[in-house]
Amino acid sequence: QVQLVESGGGLVQTGASLRLSCAASGLIFETYSLAWFRQGSGKEREFTGSISYTGSDTYYPTPGKGRFTVSRDNGENRAFLQMNSLKPEDSAIYYCAARKFGIGPYRSAGDYAYWGQGTQVTVSS
């Protein structure tokens, strides 16, 4: 069965960087788009970024340069979320999600069939 396992979270100070990793198994990795969502305590799950199954396109909540970057390594069956200049409001559980043959800005949680268990990111003041 499809399995997604996130890692790389932790407790950091404001302004720090983290690189989250999502290890995938049980699927043909290169045929799935990968996305990252986050969910703070008592909040809705929020789209953070995604990358198409081709790896040629990335998508973010808003246009323009941001602090987060999504990438993938098909040789490792792994997706990444690089987070820079972290702020306390970035504190959340970060989830990896996968969608078969995803091409386009799929920004809703319902667009993804497979999910990991999440990794906690806490940014202190």
The phi and psi torsions of 42 (rounded to 5 degrees) equal: 75, 10
Q: How many CA atoms lie within 13 A of 46 on its CB side?
A: 16
Decide if 124 contacts 16 (C-beta within 8 A).
Answer: no
Residue 104: predicted pLDDT: 84
Per-residue pLDDT tens digits for 3-39: 999 999 999 999 999 999 999 999 999 999 999 999 9
